Amino acid sequence: MPSLLFVCLGNICRSPLAEGALRAEAARRGVALVVDSAGTGNWHAGEPPDERAVAVAARNGVDITALRARQVTRADFACFDHIVALDHANLKDLRRLAPEDGSARLSLLLDWVPGRQGQAVADPWFGEAEGFDATWADVTAAARAIVERLSKDAEAAR
């Protein structure tokens, strides 16, 4: 079963939204995946997602209230097939943190979306609620693209 870990800075905005969006899309399409999220920092470890992230997910039929922030670990690089950063700074940090024997493939979230390769998901933390709507649009586009690609990969492997 494919496994993905989404990573942003504090694991309370973008990465839990990406986790929730992918869980929902995979369930909708009947695709089995292991999905988690983490932050490169530990400032919010154990905390629930930001209330604005919870609200935008809920408006779109996804409940992320049970998620709790955690910091990415070296073990994650062996446990997950894909570690997906939400922006360039976090991707750079992940490359620095990755152990030499880690097998996870690193990418940006929007690398999965045709025509969006190399783009970052903007951090809505310092803005208003509208920024969370834009983040939701990005993570749901990526969730659809991820499920589509992993489904095609699974069919090709059969």
Active-site residue list: 8, 14, 123
- Closest C-alpha to 97, from 42, 43, 45: 42
Q: Give the separation between CA 125 and CA 145, rounded to whole angstroms.
A: 25
Phi/psi for 125 (5° steps) reads: -50, -45
The number of residues making up the chain comes to: 158
Sequence-ordered strand ranges (E) for the chain = 3-8, 34-39, 82-85, 105-108
